[in-house]
Structure 1
Amino acid sequence: MNAAAATPPVDIATMRETIRRVIGPGAQPPTGEDLDTLTTALRGHMELLIPEVEQAARKLPRYYPPRDGALACVWSARHELSAAVDPGTDGVAAHSRDLAHALGSLCNRYEELRQEKSLGWQIDEELWAIDAAECSPCDDKVPDSH
C-alpha cells in the first residue's frame, strides 16, 4: 500500500464544523470533557491537514504569493501545535480557540491551493520576456514567478 492510500481523506466540512463549535457565531465556550474532545479533534485535524497544505504549496513556483502564504500558514499551525498550554480550564480553552483559528486558516489555504491546482499556474509572459535571459537562477530557462 502506498503512502497516499494510507493517508485518510481530508474532510473540510467536518473540520469547519469542529471550528464552528469552538469559535463560531453563538458558540458556547466548551468545558470539561467536551473541551478536551474538541481540542483533541482540532489537533488531529491540523496534523492531517498540515502535510497536505505543505505538499501542495511546495509544488508551486518559489516566490509565488499563494505558495508563500500557505507555507506561512503551515509554520503558524505548527507553532500553535507546539505551544505551551497554561494549566487550568481557561488556558486550555484559550489554546483551543487558537487551534481553531489556525485550523480555519489551514482549511482556507487548502481550498485555495486546490482551486489553484485546477486553474493551473500561468507564466507572466511580460515578466518572463524581460527576466528570462538575465536571470542566473534560470540557467535551464524554467519560468519562475518573477
Structure 2
Amino acid sequence: MATSTARPPTGEERDQRPLDFQTMRASTRRLLAEGAELLSLEEVETLTLRLRGHIMVTVPEVEEMAGRLPRNDTRRACARACIGEARMRMRLEPGATLPARIAHAQRLARSVNALCDHNESLGGS
C-alpha cells in the first residue's frame, strides 16, 4: 500500500480569492435586521451552518492582518478579542428550542459582522 506524501497547503498556497463580505453581511441581516422575517427550524439550522463557515474563513484572514500590527496597537487588541469571542461562540451548542437556536444564530451573526468590520478597519478587502 502506497503512502501519501501530500502535505496541507501553507498560508501562501491557500486559495487567494477575496472573501465575499457582501454575502456574509447579507446572511447576518436575515437574523439581525429590524423586522426580520420569521425563520423555520430548517432555515435557522442552514443559516447557522453558513455563519459558522463565514467565521471559519474570516478568522484566519483577520488574525493574519492583526498579527502584522505592533503588539501595543489598539486595533490589534480589538481584533484579537473579537476573534476569541467568535471562537468561543463556535464552541457553544444551540439550545433545543427554535428561540434558543435563533438566539445562538444571532450571536454568530454578530461575530460575523464584527469580523467583517475588523477586516475593513485593518485594510482588508
- What TM-score range do you get, normalising by the shorter chain? 0.7 to 0.9
Residue from 21, 26, 31 that aligns with 2:40: 31
SS in 2 for 1:114: coil
Q: Return the index of the structure with the highest Cα Rg.
A: 1
Residue from 80, 91, 95 that aligns with 1:71: 80
Cα deviation for residue 85 of structure 1 reads 1.9
Cα deviation for residue 50 of structure 1 reads 0.7
Query: Are the counterparts in 2 of residues 29 and 93 from structure 1 also a CA contact under 8 Å?
Result: no
Runs in 1 of length 4+ with deviation above 6 angstroms?
none
Change (3 A) 1:29 1:98: farther
Residue from 101, 114, 121 that aligns with 2:110: 101
- In the alignment of these two chains, the number of paired residues is 115
TM-score if structure 1 supplies the norm length?
A: 0.72
1:6 aligned to 2:6?
no
Structure with the larger helix share: 1
Residue-by-residue CA offset, 1:32-60 (whole Å, 9 max, x unaligned): 22111111110000000011111110110
SS in 2 for 1:6: coil
CA distance in 2, matches of 1:85, 1:113: 31
Superposition CA RMSD, Å? 1.7
TM-score if structure 2 supplies the norm length?
A: 0.84
Larger RCO (CA under 8 A, 6+ residues apart): 2
Percent identity over paired residues: 34
CA distance in 1, matches of 2:13, 2:36: 35
Unaligned ranges ≥5, structure 2: 1-8
Q: Residue 19 of structure 1 aligns with which residue?
A: 28
Cα deviation for residue 5 of structure 1 reads 4.7
Query: Are the counterparts in 2 of residues 57 and 67 from structure 1 also a CA contact under 8 Å?
Result: yes
Change (3 A) 1:4 1:36: farther
Q: Residue 44 of structure 1 aligns with which residue?
A: 53
Residue-by-residue CA offset, 1:91-121 (whole Å, 9 max, x unaligned): 2111001101111111100100016xxxxxx
CA distance in 1, matches of 2:59, 2:100: 24
